[in-house]
């Protein structure tokens, strides 16, 4: 079955709503890159860059990295050649300022966002999911100790790398990240709904494959 043509997509949702898992599936299906500002910061932290050092202080507290920094790196990334045929934004925009900057930037280039998927998951479930989340230290693939276990405990199915807990996935930081989401990012739901771009995806189905089917349906609509 053919998927819809426009491929400038956004995955919106609280931490732990399954954005990373669905991003990996969608980019595989559509052949477009996923752009995760969180991943870009984690790579910079691992390489010890100035950007990494600056971002880490905010990330460790579960706070947002300031708009000016995030906007610059996200817009620069979507201007790269591999994003020309489309991209999937995972974790950006997270504030109305970021969303406005994204829109201005795309409009100036004669481009636009085609669809925004909201991953809908209740707060109690988010905390439960994040506390069991494990990520591959080499390729960043995401697992859950009970919901999405790897074939071999502690190791990535894709590249064999060791799995570990993210530094900002400790319960107190998680609760702060959810509060930050509700205060800063939740308003983007109405923002994109008014632009008739929003598709609500039930993130509480039986598993990631069922959630992915919903996203595919919304893509074709």
In this structure, what are the phi and psi dihedrals at residue 160, rounded to the nearest 5 degrees?
80, 0
Task: Assess contact for 204 and 119: CB atoms under 8 A.
Answer: no
Q: How far is the CB of 65 from ligand AMP (least distance, A)?
A: 4
Which x/- pattern, by CB under 6 A, does the window 19-58 give for ligand AMP?
A: -----------------xxx--x----------------x
Q: How far is the CB of 198 from ligand AMP (least distance, A)?
A: 18
Q: How far is the CB of 207 from ligand AMP (least distance, A)?
A: 21
Q: For 107, how many CA atoms within 13 A lie in the half-sphere containing its CB?
A: 6
Task: Assess contact for 9 and 83: CB atoms under 8 A.
Answer: no
Number of other residues whose CB lies within 10 A of the CB of residue 187: 12
Tell me: does residue 77 bind ligand AMP (CB under 6 A).
no
Q: Which residue has the tokens 């620069």?
A: 76
Is 134 known to be catalytic? no
The rounded distance, in Å, linking the Cα atoms of 38 and 204 is 23
Catalytic residue among 42, 77, 94, 115: 94
Tell me: does residue 70 bind ligand AMP (CB under 6 A).
yes
| Binding-site ranges for ligand AMP (CB under 6 A) | 15, 36-38, 41, 58-59, 62-65, 70, 91-94, 98, 168, 177
Catalytic residues: 19, 94, 133, 166, 177
């Amino acid at each position: 079955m053919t998927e819809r043509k426009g491929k400038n997509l956004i995955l919106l949702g609280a931490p732990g709503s399954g954005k990373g898992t669905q991003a990996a599936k969608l980019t595989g299906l559509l052949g477009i890159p996923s752009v995760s500002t969180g991943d870009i910061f984690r790579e910079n932290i691992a390489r010890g860059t100035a950007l990494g050092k600056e971002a880490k202080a905010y990330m460790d507290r579960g706070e947002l990295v300031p708009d000016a920094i995030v906007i610059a790196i996200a817009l620069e990334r979507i201007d790269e050649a591999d994003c020309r045929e489309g991209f999937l934004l995972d974790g950006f925009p997270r504030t109305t300022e970021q969303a406005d900057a994204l829109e201005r930037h795309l409009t100036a280039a004669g481009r636009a966002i085609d669809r925004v998927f909201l991953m809908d998951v209740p707060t109690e479930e988010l905390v439960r999911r994040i506390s069991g989340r494990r990520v591959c230290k080499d390729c960043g693939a995401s697992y859950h100790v009970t919901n999405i276990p790897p074939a071999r405990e502690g190791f990535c199915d894709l590249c064999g790398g060791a799995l570990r807990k993210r530094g900002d996935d400790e319960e107190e930081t998680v609760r702060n990240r959810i509060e930050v989401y509700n205060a800063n990012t939740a308003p983007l739901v109405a923002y994109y709904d008014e632009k008739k771009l929003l598709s609500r995806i039930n993130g509480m189905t039986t598993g990631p494959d069922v959630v992915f089917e919903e996203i595919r349906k919304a893509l074709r609509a």
